[in-house]
Amino acid sequence: MKIFFALIIGIVLGAAGLWLYNSKEGRSRMQAAGGQIESAAKSARDVIQEKLKLLDLRTNDFKDELAHTGQVVRRNARDAGKAIADATADARTTAAIKAKLLTSHELSALSISVNTTGGIVTLSGTVPTEDAISKAMLLALETDGVNEVISTLQVKPKNQKS
């Protein structure tokens, strides 16, 4: 029954749309909208062409640059590449520290969270003793790519439950 009702509503809406489109007023509205869309498209195309000129992203520029240097590089692309390289370096650093935590007998990799941003490592979570905080920080500091270690580790003895 619901399907039948939905079908009837769809037919009524379709007929109303067709009537509006075929009416004189509907056609004039469609033509006005088409004109607005066309002018907006021309404006967007002009803006894009201007930006391409500013950034030297035109096809002829690519061909010339490829012929002379064998590569095409723009400033934003270089900055993006550097950001990607930094992000992967941070991920590698975090993974290396986590691997060291996994191999450590005194520290639990499951209870220590490691976050690296721009070579700055933050350790958080819980450890069983104050000595474990020192060991975790030393382990992190001895990892390539680490410039600084911040610890928010909390001492929570293993026999304590919460």
Q: Are 125 and 113 in contact (CB under 8 A)?
A: yes
pLDDT tens for each residue of 14-67 = 777 666 666 666 666 656 655 666 666 667 667 666 665 655 555 666 667 666
Number of structural domains (the chain) is 2
Same domain (yes/no): 7, 50: yes
Same domain (yes/no): 90, 40: no
Q: Which residue has the higher pLDDT, 16 or 156?
A: 156
Q: Are 118 and 145 in contact (CB under 8 A)?
A: no
Helices 2-22 and 24-55: crossing angle, nearest 10°? 90
Supply the range of the domain harboring residue 24: 2-54
Residue 128: CB atoms within 10 A of its CB come to 17
Residue 7 confidence (pLDDT):
81
Residue 2 confidence (pLDDT):
76
Q: Are 138 and 149 in contact (CB under 8 A)?
A: no
Does some domain include residue 65? Answer: no
Does some domain include residue 102? Answer: yes
**Measured in Å, how far apart are the chain's first and last C-alpha atoms?**
56
Does some domain include residue 160? Answer: no
Domain boundary at 54, 74, 95, which? Answer: 54
Does some domain include residue 127? Answer: yes
Same domain (yes/no): 150, 92: yes
d(CA 93, CA 119): 8
Q: Which residue has the higher pLDDT, 62 or 1?
A: 1
Look over the chain and give the mean of its residue pLDDT values, rounded to a whole number.
76
Q: Which residue has the higher pLDDT, 73 or 157?
A: 157
Among all chains, which residue has been given the structure tokens 């009702």? 5
d(CA 90, CA 122): 12
For residue 127, is pLDDT > 80?
yes
Does some domain include residue 70? Answer: no
Same domain (yes/no): 48, 91: no
pLDDT tens for each residue of 105-121 = 888 888 999 999 888 99
Does some domain include residue 45? Answer: yes
DSSP 98-157: HHHHHH-SSS-TTTEEEEEETTEEEEEEEESSHHHHHHHHHHHHTSTT--EEEEEEEE--
For residue 125, is pLDDT > 80?
yes
Q: Are 100 and 87 in contact (CB under 8 A)?
A: no
